[in-house]
Structure 1
């Protein structure tokens, strides 16, 4: 499962793109050490695995720790005063829009 962030592209007065609208794709994965060695890797090597269950807390953590900082980093300086609204389409575990930690980020 992935959390994808996109936005509306922004253009300057000359029609040049100042913000492409592409923010990022944030996968829900964990890194676990392997238990046994094989011909491809030694025991203890970190292996990336997909999360089997994504809960509201994991989605919230991903929003606050990964997505929002990336949006702020890519956001143009001219639009810095604008409010950033996160819309959660098809979300099974939607995060409350008035979540105190998310609003203060």
Structure 2
């Protein structure tokens, strides 16, 4: 709803609507839709919050876990381009020319973001918590010559079909080595956990498999 819509509904001018807003008689509110939660959803959310309480803390003074043995993983799809874009150009500049095989099926690319809790030593930040953002792509040599590249040139191609097997291979080959490179495997214990939002791609069984593999290499599990 815009100022014009409000003025039409009330039958007054836009300037009068603006005066009402300055006087506090009308307020602007940005409303975002919220997910519908069932009773089971609310119970699960509450249980997740309860599980974040440190079991070693007392009932009189409960506190949350320090999360030093947690790694947070999230994913995001990005379209390579948009159907329409706005540009600001100089008068002598040519209009940008963008093409796509189909405007209804624009290729998209997934990025995987890995973060952890920051580490401090004597008040100095030794790790800012930012690990890496991985693009889910493959590197393949060109099979034939073209006007743009020669045969054998390495091309970057997005992985369009993300399956559990693809994520599992990516986690083992990239995320596992990344954690060890940053020395985070020393902070992992038997309670090591991976939190993520890709529930539709990775099951808890695969997460436990990844955690056990990391813990075994660190020697924290037998």
State the Cα distance separating 1:31 from its structure 2 match. 2.0
In structure 1, the residue matched to 2:120 is: 11
- Measure the CA separation in 2 of the matches of 1:58 and 1:26: 13
- Measure the CA separation in 1 of the matches of 2:154 and 2:187: 41
The SS at the match of 2:201 is coil
The answer as to whether partners of 2:193 and 2:211 remain within 8 angstroms in 1 is no
- Measure the CA separation in 2 of the matches of 1:82 and 1:90: 22
Is it true that 1:92 corresponds to 2:191 in the alignment? no
The SS at the match of 1:43 is coil
Moved over 6 A (4+): none
Larger Rg: 2
The answer as to whether partners of 1:19 and 1:75 remain within 8 angstroms in 2 is no
Quick one: higher RCO (CA 8 Å, sep 6+), 1 or 2? Answer: 1
Matching residue within 142, 152, 155 for 1:47: 155
State the Cα distance separating 1:102 from its structure 2 match. 4.2
Aligned residues: 101
State the Cα distance separating 1:81 from its structure 2 match. 4.2
The answer as to whether partners of 1:34 and 1:47 remain within 8 angstroms in 2 is yes
State the Cα distance separating 1:89 from its structure 2 match. 1.6
TM-score by length of structure 1 reads 0.79
The SS at the match of 2:197 is coil
CA gap 1:82/1:52 in 2 versus in 1, 3 angstroms: closer
- Measure the CA separation in 2 of the matches of 1:47 and 1:58: 19
When structure 1 is superposed on structure 2, of 64-73 and 38-47 the one drifting more is 38-47
Matches within 5 A, 1:25-64: 25-64=133-172
Query: Mind listing any 5+ residue stretches in structure 2 that lack a counterpart?
Result: 1-109, 215-222
- Measure the CA separation in 2 of the matches of 1:7 and 1:33: 35
When structure 1 is superposed on structure 2, of 39-48 and 15-24 the one drifting more is 39-48
Name whichever structure is richer in strand by fraction: 1
Name whichever structure is richer in helix by fraction: 2
Matching residue within 182, 185, 194 for 1:74: 182
- Measure the CA separation in 2 of the matches of 1:81 and 1:10: 11
